[in-house]
Amino acid sequence: MANYDTIVYSVSNSTELVSNIALLVNATFFPEGTENTSNDCMENSTLKRFSDGYEQIHGYLSILICFVGIICNILNVIVLTRKNMISPTNYILSALAIADLLTMVPYLPLAFMYCLEGRGNVLSIDVPRSLSIILINLMNNVISITMHSVAMWLTVALAFFRYIIVCHGRTHAPKLCSLYRTKLTIAAICIFTLLFLIPNFLCLKVTPKRGNQGQQLYMLEAGAICTDNFLVNLKFWLYGVGVKIATCILLVIFSGLLIKAIHSANQRRRKLLFQGRRAESEYTHEHNRTTTMLVTVVLLFVVTELPQGILLLMIGISENKAQSAWCVYFDLADFLDMIVLLNSSINFMLYCTMSQQFRNTFKSLFIKKITHRLNSMSVRHSGSGPRLRSNGHPYDAIPSNNGNVSCITNEEKTMNTTL
């Protein structure tokens, strides 16, 4: 049966994307093989059957989510960094989009290998593998874990900044939530997260091996820092439980305060409408929609991370650790991975749905330009070509507000497309 130190090591490394790290470390520390870990659990349980069934589609589903999420986060960065979108909140949202993007990029080749080779063949570290598989695993361990940790603390910073802006806008917000302090906060989160995770990265080392036919292979093994029981237990409570539980508690607190502020603002809005002050009421309404959108982003993150934190806490305090929460955690690993990836890709839809400024900026950047190009191509193919004014300047055809084609000069077009 699996010993507790082995389990603690496994879950202490799974601070973010679950399945690959849990299985990697599990295979290293169970001499009997990865299969014996699941033997400690109920083979015929509903959860085990769900795990086996979902394993068949996890790779393909992850590839789809990663492709969509990468595109969506690139669009997020492009839109949120426009001049008319610059604000402390949008700076954090841009950094969050980059972190989510870099969480999914390393996971994509792992998902491809997952489909081609199978879960155990790709993720096992107790047997020699090709250099490509080793590098994919290492890249996913280092980059994905780091960037998702950054995303966790950026979400906390987002909730804190929005709380200051909404609840202390006139007193503390101009000083605490300036653009300079926002950039400083983002940089500090990135630097301290990287330093904080360095001991975690030292738990794996690459050892060259020779294959049966003399070919050069490599194997991932546990580093010296992960053979000491005290350090292993410290890592478990610090990385596995402490980080997730602490971030979720902070996010729940700030979300509750923001929801209370939204409720109070809605009451003020109704009073403004009753007094006939419609302009102020509309401003309050848009302000509340932005806050509601950010609270949704925060709560989705809590829904993603809190179940993992609870399972890790149960593993830490359970008397029969190898057969209780660990079995649930191990069987749900792939599904929890998918939830993390989905959460990293969904923000674009939230912004488009709940932020009018984001929608308008997105339309001006992409939809209007695409429509203009299609209309220009249509005019060229019709054979009319560009017409010349009396002074020799060419016209470009663009649609006017009433749907008819009008003409402007190239100089006028440049001015109109400038934000």
**Domain annotation for the chain: domains and CATH numbers:** 4-354 (1.20.1070.10), 367-416 (no CATH)
Handedness of CA 70, 71, 72, 76 (dihedral sign): positive
pLDDT for 284 beyond 90: no
Distance from C-alpha of 175 to C-alpha of 158, rounded to nearest angstrom:
16
- Strands 216-222 and 405-409, sheet pairing: unpaired
**CA dist 233 → 63, 227, 242, 313, 338 (Å):** 34, 11, 12, 13, 27
Handedness of CA 7, 147, 97, 243 (dihedral sign): positive
Beta bridge partners of residue 399, listed in sequence order: 405
Distance from C-alpha of 70 to C-alpha of 74, rounded to nearest angstrom:
6
pLDDT for 183 beyond 60: yes
Distance from C-alpha of 112 to C-alpha of 114, rounded to nearest angstrom:
5
pLDDT for 188 beyond 90: yes
More confident residue, 94 or 337: 94
Q: Let me know: does 114 contact 62? Beta carbons within 8 Å.
A: yes
Q: Let me know: does 41 contact 26? Beta carbons within 8 Å.
A: no
pLDDT for 66 beyond 90: yes
Q: Across all residues in the chain, what is the average pLDDT?
A: 75
SS3 letters for 334-346?
HHHHHHHHHHHHC
Amino acid at 22: A
Distance from C-alpha of 205 to C-alpha of 223, rounded to nearest angstrom:
6
- Per DSSP, 393 falls in state P
* N-term to C-term CA, the chain: 64
Distance from C-alpha of 121 to C-alpha of 59, rounded to nearest angstrom:
13
pLDDT of residue 323: 56
Handedness of CA 148, 151, 153, 156 (dihedral sign): negative
Q: Let me know: does 58 contact 34? Beta carbons within 8 Å.
A: no
Closest among 290, 272, 294 to 281, alpha carbons compared: 272
pLDDT for 30 beyond 50: no
How sure is the predictor about 309, in pLDDT bands with cuts at 50, 70 and 90?
Answer: confident
Residues 6 or more apart in contact with residue 61 via CB below 8 angstroms: 338
How sure is the predictor about 200, in pLDDT bands with cuts at 50, 70 and 90?
Answer: confident
Which of 282-286, 338-342, 362-366, 411-415 shows the lowest mean pLDDT across its residues? 411-415
- Per DSSP, 403 falls in state S
Which of 35-39, 82-86, 89-93 shows the lowest mean pLDDT across its residues? 35-39
Distance from C-alpha of 61 to C-alpha of 245, rounded to nearest angstrom:
28
The 10s digit of each residue's pLDDT in 41-52 is 666 578 888 888
Distance from C-alpha of 125 to C-alpha of 89, rounded to nearest angstrom:
42
Main-chain dihedrals φ then ψ at residue 217, nearest 5 degrees: -125, 175
**CA dist 405 → 376, 392, 408, 416 (Å):** 10, 20, 10, 16
How sure is the predictor about 1, in pLDDT bands with cuts at 50, 70 and 90?
Answer: very low
Which of 18-27, 82-91, 194-203, 315-324 shows the lowest mean pLDDT across its residues? 18-27
Radius of gyration of the chain (CA): 26
